[in-house]
Structures are given as C-alpha cells and as structure tokens.
Amino acid sequence: MNTPAAIGFFDSGVGGLSVLRHALDKVCAIPLVYVADSGYAPYGDRSTDAIIARSRHITRFLIEQGAGAVVVACNTATAAAIDVLRNEFPVPIVGMEPALKPAAAATGSGHVAVLATQGTFGSARYAKLRSNHDKQVHVHEQVCPHWVEVVEQGDLNNPRVLDVINASLAPLTSTAVDTYVLGCTHFPFLEASIRRVVGEQITIIEPGTAVVEQLRRRLNLQHCENQRSPLRAFTSGETDRLNRQFETLIGVAIEADRLPD
C-alpha cells in the first residue's frame, strides 16, 4: 500500500497518548494528527450510538486532514464503532482490544484481570474475545470508576489517585490474579500507582507498543525507527488544557487547535 500522507489517532481524551507516544519515532516520520474528544469524555458510560456518531465525525475530520490510516486509540470506541468505521471509510483503521491473548500466555496462576470501561465489557466484540479465552483462563473483569477522570486531570501524584486505584483493585488483590490487562488507554498512565497496589511480582500488560507494531505491519513500514514524526493535535475541549496534558503525560510540547463541530 502507498505510504499515507498522515496517520490519525483519536480517543475520548488523552488516553490515546499512551499509544501515540510509541508511534512518535516509529512510523518513518509520517506526520501524526491526534484528536482528543475531551468535550465528550468519558466515552465509557455513553451509548453505542453516541460513540459511533463521535467516532464517525472524528474519522472524517482526520481523513480531511490527510490521514491515510486511522488508529482508534480507545478500547471503548473500538468496541462500539470500528466495524462501522471500516465499512464507511476507505482507509486502514487499526483498533484496540483488551490484550487477553498475551495475558493468557503470561499467567502462571491461570487468573487474569481485565481493567476496562463498562462500554468495553458490554460490547459484543469483547464477549467474543472473552469466549476465545475463558476456557483456558479464569477472567476477572473490573470496571474502574474515576480512573479516566484522574488521568484527564493530570495530577498523577495526588494522593487521591492511590485511593481511587485501591478502591477498584482491593477486591482483586486477595484472589489468584497474577496478570492485569490494561484494557483502557488511559490506564497505562497509572501504572506506577497500580504497581504500588498490586505489588512488584504481578504482570501488567499494556498494548501500546503492540498496536504501533500492528500499524507498521499494516502500512508495510520498515527500517525507519528513530525518525521523528511531526505532530498536530486537536480537541473538542480546551486547547490550553490539551497542551498541558501533552507536556505532563508524554513530555511533548504542542499547540493544539479546536476540533471543528
């Protein structure tokens, strides 16, 4: 396939930065365009129809910006909308799903926990994924209230963060779970705090690098590591806030623009 003029990424907010950060110098300097749909975050509690409408609007915008491939850097939006996007748009669309397959390969105890949004757990896509693995491993599912919110706020050293994580994970720490799947792209930013709760011996799987590898395969990109991509960013929320979030979460300076309605 031809090398695209740009690659688009989107998420309900800044979660997708946990994927984008792995692409910055791994895609042959192809320009990257990131959309944070912060004016509509979180997606986790929204209806499937609402998430499809936002995903369609953003994908159309990214293609107008030159994107010849789009990464849905959000498990919830992938679960709700990826089939629709692939049907409607003539570009490769790469999505995310909780990394149950590598978790099933990694677990020693046979107990795996998936941390994700209600939207992801409630989807037909996730049900199918789970049914491919639940004969092999015991899958514990945990919705994590307020985790997306604390990442969006960006104050990751606030003591409240640990309380929020503890409240969700405490029930799991007394089980045989030895492998945690971060099934929401916001959660990798909480990994240090998650580790403080679950301990050092536990395996934590986040799919950011695997998704970028999949993107590279899909676009047939080879031998172009260490070439930095130019980056633009848009938000349906406040641009100043997105600028600060880029700096805090992935150490990148940008000047974001408003996403048109």
Q: Which residues are catalytic?
A: 74, 184
- Rounded CA gap, 13 and 248, in Å? 14
Q: Which stretch binds ligand DGL (CB under 6 A): 69-77, 131-139, 156-164, 228-236?
A: 69-77
Q: How far is the CB of 186 from ligand DGL (least distance, A)?
A: 5
Q: Does 120 bind ligand DGL (CB under 6 A)?
A: yes
Site for ligand DGL in 137-196 (CB under 6 A): 148, 184-186
- Closer of 8 and 15 to ligand DGL (Cβ): 15
* Residue in 90, 74, 79 with CA at minimum distance from that of residue 34: 74
* Residue in 45, 52, 91, 51 with CA at minimum distance from that of residue 68: 91
- Rounded CA gap, 184 and 14, in Å? 11
- Closer of 59 and 221 to ligand DGL (Cβ): 59
Q: How far is the CB of 91 from ligand DGL (least distance, A)?
A: 21
- Is-cis flag, bond preceding 102, omega within 30? no
Element (H, E) at 35: strand 32-36
- Closer of 75 and 239 to ligand DGL (Cβ): 75
- Closer of 6 and 81 to ligand DGL (Cβ): 81
Task: Evaluate whether 56 touches 85 at the Cβ level (below 8 Å).
Answer: yes
- Closer of 11 and 178 to ligand DGL (Cβ): 11
Q: Which stretch binds ligand DGL (CB under 6 A): 10-18, 61-69, 191-199, 231-239?
A: 10-18
Strands 32-36 and 67-72: unpaired
Q: How far is the CB of 77 from ligand DGL (least distance, A)?
A: 7
Q: Does 239 bind ligand DGL (CB under 6 A)?
A: no
Element (H, E) at 134: none
- Rounded CA gap, 61 and 53, in Å? 12
* Residue 42 region by backbone torsions, left for phi larger than 0, else alpha for psi between -120 and 50, else beta: beta
Site for ligand DGL in 32-61 (CB under 6 A): 41-44
Contact residues toward ligand DGL (CB under 6 A) are 11-12, 15, 41-44, 74-76, 117, 120, 148, 184-186
